[in-house]
């Protein structure tokens, strides 16, 4: 293990963490404001990726495809909200888990029906292809840097929206006590649709951004969804700040852990055992992290509900 | 959910007798199935399908014990199926093929996993509990997938079904059928007596109103933990049976989709009746079988169906049956 490799992995972890943040932000706000647990949020991410793949094939330009994919994911999210989710707000979490699980089954299969089961590839846009030398001997793909920058920009935008605008104030108020906000004369349902649509769009954006570096395939949202849940649970449900920190933490721990766990264990164990244990341990790290955070702080790092 | 609990006050003897009708019919149907299967001409197919129904019924039953009676939404119950299945698979690959060793090992492993994860998970409430149980099952899934010595992602083929006391008692499908039925019936009776006992009442009380339970002097945590451990052990037993039926163990037994399906089985059958969970498992698997025969995109039908069940069929199949009886 050397410093350059560590830095590359740290950047990859940062990029992964920011993608997770885009997905988890919508999830945590929807959950925080409406107490609505939406397993189908990962579907938004997948749909975002598929839409950008389809639009890229159609228009030939990734930038144009991204511009088209955003409103389409927003529309898709609002459609789901109107058809299914709206009827579940007053139900308990169990019903919400099940019904949104049904949505996942349907959309995963639907995507397979429309685009086939084989993974799609989206080419990296020409402007952002290639690598640049960040430091001596450290080449990093431009596209991944672009994702990091875009993720940071969206994060900053979200921070300003949530903490320095009137709507953001209502969202925060809703997350800490929705009934009180409603009693003060705010149409909480409309507020929720706004938050929901915005969250769906962010997840769609995350999917669209990773489409060129991952393969676009049915079920790609499911793994990410579970990670996003780990993120919001660690961060404290409803807290944007907690989600941001937890997303970066999970991104870094997962990426760096996978890359270096075998090497680290080699200090204590013989090489064969170390690489075996390391490979077994690395994917478990984030779940161990989550369990230990919840052990000491059962409502996450930054609980919003009083 | 609370209306279901209220629907179960102290039962009059008449109601108690009526309460026996549905489980009685259910188990009679299971007992009659092999004979009907022999007459149907597709004996092997029917037998293996009904065996699968009973095994998943057992798993759903275990989930109903904590979900229906304790309101503990475990979204990682498939992990225990995996533990049971892999206990059989791993021991068999080392030449230990006797169920009298495999099953106790599976039960102890499930109990330990449930004890440790339950002790941590039960500190949390509501959605945090859902997520942490999910996280633990994912953790185990990744661990199993990384075990290259035991097949990793590809799974593990059993050399043959388990022996019982050195005898090949489970080798024929018919024998496995009766063994599964015996496990299901025995567990059902056990769970019945658990929920009717003082322990079961504390569990239900903690579900209805934990604060009040504390006030009358019961700390729910140990009761919930014991229920979680029992439930995990039953699911582990179901895992042993699955491994024996398919003669193949794979990480696919313990994916979170499988956990979701188990919850669906319980809800579809109706929460907190125990036999409802078994009926739910039967309905789910038969439905799946039908839909798979119908179209390759069967999940596009199953998904919306699931949503409709949640939205409109509250109380599941048992709820419909009871509603029909009151009218």
The mean per-residue pLDDT over the stretch A127-146 comes to 84
Q: What angle do CA A179, A184, A190 make, to 5 degrees?
A: 70
| A100 CB-near residues (< 8 Å, 6+ apart) | A37, A38, A39, A40, A84, A85, A88
Residues of chain B in contact with residue A108, where contact means CB-CB under 8 angstroms, are 299
The mean per-residue pLDDT over the stretch B200-211 comes to 91
| Closest C-alpha to B270, from B231, B302, B327, B316 | B316
CB contact under 8 Å between A99 and B311, yes or no, is yes
Structure-block tokens of residue B174: 């018919």
The complex scores an ipTM of 0.85
**Residue B311 parent element (H or E):** helix B299-312
CA atoms of A144 and B325, how far apart (whole Å): 63
pLDDT(B3) > 50:
no
Average pLDDT, chain B: 88
**Residue A304 within any structural domain of the chain:** no
Residues of chain B in contact with residue A287, where contact means CB-CB under 8 angstroms, are 135-136, 138-139, 142
Task: Please report where in the chains the tokens 């009685």 appear, as a residue.
Answer: B24
Task: Please report where in the chains the tokens 């106790």 appear, as a residue.
Answer: B104
Helix orientation angle between B173-196 and B220-246, rounded to the nearest 10 degrees:
170
pLDDT(A219) > 90:
no
CA atoms of B246 and B228, how far apart (whole Å): 27
CA atoms of A289 and A249, how far apart (whole Å): 10
**Residue A267 within any structural domain of the chain:** no
pLDDT(B315) > 90:
no
CB contact under 8 Å between A287 and B75, yes or no, is no
Q: DSSP assignment, residue B250?
A: -
**Residue A188 within any structural domain of the chain:** yes
DSSP 3-state of B209: coil
| B93 CB-near residues (< 8 Å, 6+ apart) | B150, B156, B159
Q: In this predicted model, what pLDDT tens digit does every residue of A142-185 receive, in sequence order?
A: 999 999 999 999 999 998 998 899 988 988 888 788 888 889 88
Q: In this predicted model, what pLDDT tens digit does every residue of B141-163 receive, in sequence order?
A: 988 988 888 888 888 898 888 88
Catalogue the E-assigned strands of B99-185: 156-157
Domain that holds residue A174: 12-218
**Residue A83 within any structural domain of the chain:** yes
CB contact under 8 Å between B300 and A113, yes or no, is yes
**Closest in B125, B135, B303 to A105, CB measured:** B303
| Radius of gyration, alpha carbons of chain B | 19
Task: Please report where in the chains the tokens 């997303």 appear, as a residue.
Answer: A247
At residue B98, φ and ψ (nearest 5 deg) are -85, 130
End-to-end CA distance of chain B: 21
The HSE-up count of residue B201 (CA atoms within 13 Å, CB side) is 7
**Residue A3 within any structural domain of the chain:** no
Q: In this predicted model, what pLDDT tens digit does every residue of B81-114 receive, in sequence order?
A: 999 999 999 999 998 889 999 999 999 999 999 9
Distances (CA, A) of A151 to A146, A205, A276: 8, 10, 34
The mean per-residue pLDDT over the stretch B41-47 comes to 86
| Closest C-alpha to B179, from B266, B262, B242, B85 | B242
**Residue A227 within any structural domain of the chain:** no
**Residue A22 within any structural domain of the chain:** yes
| Percent of chain A with pLDDT strictly greater than 90 | 42
**Residue A132 parent element (H or E):** strand A131-135
Q: In this predicted model, what pLDDT tens digit does every residue of B219-246 receive, in sequence order?
A: 999 999 999 999 999 999 999 999 999 9
Residues of chain A in contact with residue B300, where contact means CB-CB under 8 angstroms, are 105-106, 109-110, 113
Please tell me chain B's helix, strand, coil percentages from 3-state DSSP, rounded to the nearest 5. Answer: 80, 0, 20
Domain count, chain A: 1
The mean per-residue pLDDT over the stretch A71-85 comes to 93
* Amino acid B326: pLDDT: 54
* Amino acid A176: pLDDT: 80
Q: What angle do CA A52, A54, A55 make, to 5 degrees?
A: 65
Structure-block tokens of residue B271: 């929460």
The mean per-residue pLDDT over the stretch A190-213 comes to 91
């Amino acid at each position: 293990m050397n410093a350059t490799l560590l830095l590359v992995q740290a950047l990859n972890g940062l990029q992964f963490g920011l993608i997770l943040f885009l997905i988890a932000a919508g999830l945590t706000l929807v959950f925080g404001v409406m107490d609505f647990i939406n397993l189908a949020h990962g579907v938004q991410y997948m749909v975002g990726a598929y839409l950008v793949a389809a639009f890229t094939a159609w228009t030939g330009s990734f930038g144009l495809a991204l511009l088209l994919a955003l409103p389409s994911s927003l529309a898709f999210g609002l459609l789901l909200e109107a058809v299914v989710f709206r009827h579940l707000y007053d139900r308990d979490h169990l019903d919400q888990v099940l019904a949104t699980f049904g949505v996942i089954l349907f959309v995963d299969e639907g995507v397979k029906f429309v685009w086939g089961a084989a993974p799609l590839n989206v080419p990296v846009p020409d402007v952002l292809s290639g690598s640049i030398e960040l430091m001596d001997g450290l080449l990093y793909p431009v596209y991944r840097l672009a994702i990091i920058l875009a993720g940071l920009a969206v994060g900053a935008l979200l921070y300003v929206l949530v903490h320095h605008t009137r709507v953001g104030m209502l969202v925060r108020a809703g997350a800490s006590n929705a009934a009180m906000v409603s009693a003060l004369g705010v149409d909480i349902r409309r507020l929720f649709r706004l938050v929901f649509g915005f969250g769906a769009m962010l997840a769609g954006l995350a999917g669209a951004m990773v489409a060129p570096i991952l393969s676009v395939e049915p079920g790609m949202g499911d793994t990410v969804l579970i990670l996003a849940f780990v993120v919001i649970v660690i961060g404290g449900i409803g807290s944007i700040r907690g989600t941001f920190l937890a997303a970066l933490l999970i991104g870094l721990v997962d990426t760096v852990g996978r890359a270096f766990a075998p090497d680290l264990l080699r200090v204590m164990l013989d090489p064969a055992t170390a690489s075996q244990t390391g490979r077994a341990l690395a994917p478990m790290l984030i779940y161990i992290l989550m369990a230990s955070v919840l052990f000491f702080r059962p409502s996450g790092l930054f609980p919003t509900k009083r | 959910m609370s209306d279901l609990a209220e629907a179960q006050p102290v039962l009059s003897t008449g109601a108690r007798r009526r309460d026996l009708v549905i489980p009685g019919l259910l188990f009679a149907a299971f007992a009659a199935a092999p004979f009907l299967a022999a007459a149907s001409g597709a004996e092997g197919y029917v037998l293996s399908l009904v065996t699968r129904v009973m095994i998943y019924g057992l798993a759903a039953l275990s989930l109903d014990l904590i979900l229906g009676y304790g309101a503990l939404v475990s979204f990682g119950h498939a992990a225990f199926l995996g533990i049971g299945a892999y206990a059989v698979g791993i021991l068999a690959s080392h030449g230990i093929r006797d169920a009298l060793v495999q099953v106790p090992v599976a039960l102890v492993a499930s109990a330990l996993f449930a004890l440790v994860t339950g002790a941590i998970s039960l500190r949390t409430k509501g959605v945090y509990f859902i997520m942490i149980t999910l996280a633990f099952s994912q953790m185990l899934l990744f661990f199993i997938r990384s075990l290259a010595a035991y097949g990793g992602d590809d799974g593990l083929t059993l050399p043959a079904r388990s022996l019982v006391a050195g005898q090949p008692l489970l080798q024929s499908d018919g024998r496995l059928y009766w063994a599964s039925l015996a496990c299901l019936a025995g567990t059902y009776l056990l769970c019945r007596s658990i929920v009717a006992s003082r322990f079961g009442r504390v569990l239900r009380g903690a579900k209805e109103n934990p604060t009040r339970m504390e006030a009358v002097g019961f700390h729910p945590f140990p009761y919930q933990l014991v229920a979680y451990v029992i439930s995990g052990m039953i699911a582990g037993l179901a895992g042993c049976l699955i491994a024996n039926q398919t003669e193949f163990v794979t990480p696919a037994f313990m994916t979170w989709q499988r956990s979701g399906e188990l919850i669906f089985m319980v809800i579809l059958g109706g929460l907190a009746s125990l036999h409802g969970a078994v009926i739910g498992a039967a309905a789910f698997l038969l439905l799946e079988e039908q839909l798979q025969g119908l179209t390759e995109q069967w999940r596009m039908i199953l998904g919306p169906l699931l949503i409709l069940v949640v939205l409109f069929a509250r109380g599941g199949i048992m709820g419909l049956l009871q509603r029909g009886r009151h009218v």
